[in-house]
Amino acid sequence: ADIPVIPDLEDVQEEDLAMQVAAPPSVQVNRVLTYHDLDKDLMKYAAFQTLDGEVDLKLLTKVLSPEHELREDDVSWDWDHLFTEVSSELMTEWDLAQSERED
């Protein structure tokens, strides 16, 4: 009566989790804030001027660079041109260092 029995595959109905996909989260996004809006919020709210209630960020926020100074034009890189430019600068530096050692 105490003989162990191997169950049939049909009797064991386990879920196959590999084929199930979780539902994506639903987030309502009304609009994306611009850099200008973020800058105004940073200066307006005192919560952004301290970190963990201890570190004063007012000096940092006063010297942050404006967006127009940080924007750069997109420049495509050419591997051959870039390699030649860097190797030329390195050779110039090595030549200067070698001439200083000789003096």
pLDDT digit string, tens, across residues 2-11? 788 876 766 6
- Quote the domain boundaries for residue 90: 35-65+78-100
- Does a structural domain hold residue 17? no
- Does a structural domain hold residue 93? yes
10 Å CB burial of residue 12 (0-12, 13-18, 19+) is exposed
Q: Is 50 helix (H, G, I), strand (E, B) or coil?
A: strand
What average pLDDT does range 6-33 have in this prediction? 70
pTM: predicted TM-score of the whole model, two decimal places: 0.31
- Does a structural domain hold residue 70? no
Domain total of the chain:
1
Tens digits of residue pLDDT in 36-94: 777 777 666 655 666 666 777 777 777 778 778 888 888 888 999 999 999 999 999 99
- Does a structural domain hold residue 24? no
- Does a structural domain hold residue 59? yes
- Does a structural domain hold residue 29? no
- Does a structural domain hold residue 83? yes
- Does a structural domain hold residue 18? no
